[in-house]
Amino acid sequence: MIEKVQRRFTKRLSELHHLSHFDRLQILGLQSLERRRLSYYLIILHGLTHSTLSNNLMQQLTHTQGHSYKLDKSHCSHDSSKYLFTNRIVDLWNSLPNEVCVQLLETFKYKVSQLN
């Protein structure tokens, strides 16, 4: 619903009204609200996995594919547990390419912003 507000606002710009929503966002140098939200989630999780709080996230160090900061998804017996932050973002985090998962936060932010 929030994305709808941004879509409606950008459509009202007279020179952009005939373009698709994603074309308008690209011209205006904006990201969709969903993409920004996911980026912020990844940045928060980056801080957690590179801090002393990482013990609470049950890191599973693997050397198969991707990066070495893979996280285990905890088993959820209730629907409410499925929607906790750490369970919602684990799949996205684990799918990040190896070159994105760097130690420096500023570099991480830049690399996440460059993902498609």
Give the number of domains in the chain.
Answer: 2
27-31, 39-43, 72-76: least confidently modelled range? 72-76
Range of the domain at 2: 1-30
Write down the pLDDT at residue 63. 52
48 and 102 together in one domain: yes
3-17, 55-69, 92-106: least confidently modelled range? 55-69
Looking at every residue in the chain, the average pLDDT score rounds to 76
CA dihedral 65, 37, 74, 84 (to 10 degrees): 180
φ/ψ of residue 59, rounded to 5? -70, 140
Is 50 exceeded by the pLDDT of residue 53? no
| pLDDT, average across residues 55-77 | 61
pTM above 0.75, yes or no: no
65 and 21 together in one domain: no
60 and 97 together in one domain: yes
59 and 18 together in one domain: no
